[in-house]
């Protein structure tokens, strides 16, 4: 009898120890997602993350979408998320290369591993020791390469000669500075093309439209525009339409929103680069899960490609998967 009691006691002690084990072994893992701004691109990252989470039986906790771009808006949301807790992993789009280092480091130091998606901290090289190399990985587009490819195509579209203009969002955000720099690198290959301006709209479409309208007034012979993200491109093409210059000014745009795809079909935009936000979200959950459950080593940089929409392929069945919807 005494032996049976001892065995029962031993079983009870072991079971209670199991219940005291760390959260991630207990039940569902939870991944928090902190986007950069309310827009269709960021929503697609969430969709991809949700899809992988469902496959794995993981929970996604989505933080409030910032109504505008920038650390001033994003950091308080992040701090509230961190104070509430209840998540094992963070997927985050940092809205500044410098400003997000300290707030994210605080979360990291509380024991939350993270992956930055779409944008990175510092120069994005998380493989060398630095104040910003604590995220496990950057998962996002090769923006420099994309900007370069856009530049080459726009140059061809304008016959390799004439004035071009860049409308972009911020000077301190890795994604859009990469696009700008890649585009400028391509322009160096075309001595007869002149970049007459670069404007920063701070991720506001109305500002982009206003800036483009002013640039067109000063340069009525402008030949091409690169809008580096959806707000920039949507604002830019509206200004061109309003100025009655549709077709005369070629527009290369970034981000495959329904608006830009319709504009491409209508001849108001001439090229659309689609990123792969669904894949970005999907991969972030996949790698985070492998890290938490198997201790897998996460590659520091995971780069899904991009896809170019032109008027020739915009209606092809195969192209439809790249639209952000």
199, 255, 259, 270: which one contacts ligand T6T (CB under 6 A)? 255
> For the residues of 24-78, what is the DSSP string, one character each?
HHHS--EEEEE-SSSSHHHHHHHHHHHHHHHHHT-EEEEPPPPSS-SHHHHHHHH
Q: Is 237 in the site for ligand T6T (CB under 6 A)?
A: no
Task: Report long-range pairs for 20-28 (Cβ below 8 Å, ≥24 apart).
Answer: 23/88, 24/88, 24/292, 24/293, 28/57, 28/58, 28/59
Interface with ligand T6T in residues 145-184 (CB under 6 A): 175
Options 37-45, 70-78, 102-110, 293-301: segment touching ligand T6T (CB under 6 A) = 37-45
Q: Is 322 in the site for ligand T6T (CB under 6 A)?
A: no
Tell me which residue has tokens 């072991």. 14
Residue 316 CB, nearest approach to ligand T6T (Å): 23
82, 117, 207, 229: which one contacts ligand T6T (CB under 6 A)? 229
Nearer to ligand T6T, 36 or 48 (CB): 36
Nearer to ligand T6T, 88 or 203 (CB): 203
Interface with ligand T6T in residues 62-121 (CB under 6 A): 118-119
Nearer to ligand T6T, 230 or 263 (CB): 230
**8-state DSSP, 252:** E
> For the residues of 155-203, what is the DSSP string, one character each?
HHHTTT-EEEEEEES-TT-HHHHHHHHHHHHHHTT-TTEEEEEEEE-TT
| Residue ranges binding ligand T6T (CB under 6 A) | 36-37, 39, 41-42, 118-119, 175, 229-231, 254-255, 275
């Amino acid at each position: 009898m005494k032996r049976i009691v001892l065995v029962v006691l031993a079983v009870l002690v072991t079971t209670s120890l199991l219940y005291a084990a760390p959260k991630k072994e207990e039940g569902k893992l939870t991944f928090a997602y902190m986007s950069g701004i309310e827009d269709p691109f960021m929503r697609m990252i969430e969709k991809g993350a949700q899809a992988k989470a469902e496959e794995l039986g993981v929970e996604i906790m989505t933080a409030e979408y910032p109504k505008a771009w920038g650390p001033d808006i994003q950091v308080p949301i992040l701090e509230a998320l961190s104070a509430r807790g209840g998540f094992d992993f963070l997927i985050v789009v940092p809205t500044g290369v410098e400003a997000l280092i300290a707030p994210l480091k605080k979360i990291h130091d509380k024991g939350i591993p993270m992956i930055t998606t779409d944008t990175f901290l510092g120069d994005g090289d998380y493989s060398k020791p630095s104040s910003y190399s604590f995220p496990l990985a950057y998962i996002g587009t090769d923006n420099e390469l994309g900007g370069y490819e856009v530049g080459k195509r726009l140059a061809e579209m304008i016959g390799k000669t004439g004035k071009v203009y860049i409308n972009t969002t911020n000077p301190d955000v890795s994604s859009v500075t990469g696009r700008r720099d890649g585009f400028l690198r391509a322009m160096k290959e075309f001595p007869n093309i002149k970049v007459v301006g670069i404007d920063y709209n701070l991720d506001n479409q109305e500002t982009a439209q206003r800036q483009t309208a002013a640039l067109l007034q000063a340069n009525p012979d402008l030949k091409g525009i690169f809008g580096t993200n959806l707000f920039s491109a949507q604002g830019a093409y509206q200004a061109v339409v309003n100025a009655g210059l549709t077709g005369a000014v070629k527009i290369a745009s970034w981000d495959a929103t329904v608006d830009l795809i319709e504009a491409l079909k209508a001849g108001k935009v001439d090229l659309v680069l689609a990123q792969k936000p669904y894949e970005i979200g999907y991969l972030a959950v996949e790698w985070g899960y492998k890290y938490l459950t198997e201790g897998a080593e996460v590659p520091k940089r995971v780069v899904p490609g991009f896809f170019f929409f032109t008027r020739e392929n915009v209606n092809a069945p195969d192209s439809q998967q790249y639209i952000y919807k």
